[in-house]
């Protein structure tokens, strides 16, 4: 007889790993995280399997081998959507909800690429880009800017300020993934 205390529901497992339920569901479907399916079709996760997964993968299930992408956007839904798609492509993704979190994350671990939203409260993406360049040098960390306010000068402005690209929001997710692959191949 199994000990129910060692089994977690989908929601409990997601909280345990620090990821969204959709992420752990995807990992189960890919075979990265073992799951038990109840007769009603619900997933259950053994705590020891999740601990092993964390040891093997690192925080939030990030693979240790993929290039590190820092995603800075104040919209958690955008971050989740982009993160899931980049992780699926083999990238390690770290998220930041604002410029200050983003700069702190860079200080902790220099990313291979920064995906940076222009429109954020307090410190906008342009100011964060400037601060990054002051600390690390122009072009030391590739940056792709994205914004909902798109005009003819947006891409030119991003390039002239030292970014390696610009994508308008709502963006074609594949375009963002392709730009990421172009700048930092997996």
Considering just the CA atoms, what is the radius of gyration of the chain in Å?
Answer: 18
Q: What is the mean pLDDT of the chain?
A: 85
Label the pairing between strands 143-147 and 113-117: parallel
CATH number at residue 169: 3.40.50.2300
pLDDT interval class at 150 (50, 70, 90): low
Euclidean distance between CA atoms 154 and 152, whole angstroms: 6
Phi/psi at 153 (nearest 5 deg)? -90, -10
pLDDT at 27: 81
Nearest Cα to 85, choosing from 66, 111, 64? 66
Domain residues for 106? 68-183
CATH number at residue 38: 1.10.1660.10
Are residues 81 and 50 located together in one domain of the fold?
A: no
pLDDT at 3: 53
């Amino acid at each position: 007889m199994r000990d129910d205390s060692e089994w977690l529901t989908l929601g409990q497992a997601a909280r345990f790993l620090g990821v969204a339920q959709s992420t752990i569901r995807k990992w189960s479907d890919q075979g990265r995280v073992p799951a038990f399916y109840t007769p009603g079709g619900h997933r259950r996760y053994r705590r020891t399997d999740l601990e092993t997964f964390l040891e093997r993968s690192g925080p939030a299930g990030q693979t240790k081998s993929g290039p590190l992408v820092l995603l800075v956007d104040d919209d958690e839904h955008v971050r989740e959507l982009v993160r899931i798609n980049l992780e699926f492509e083999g990238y390690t993704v770290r998220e930041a909800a604002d410029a200050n979190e983003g700069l702190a994350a860079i200080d902790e671990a220099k990313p291979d690429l920064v995906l940076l939203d222009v429109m954020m409260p307090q410190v906008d993406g342009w100011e964060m880009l400037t601060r990054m360049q002051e600390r690390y040098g122009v072009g030391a960390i590739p940056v792709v800017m994205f914004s909902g306010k798109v005009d003819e000068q947006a891409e030119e402005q991003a390039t002239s300020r030292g970014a390696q690209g610009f994508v308008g929001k709502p963006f074609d997710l594949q375009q963002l993934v392709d730009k990421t692959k172009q700048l930092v191949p997996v």
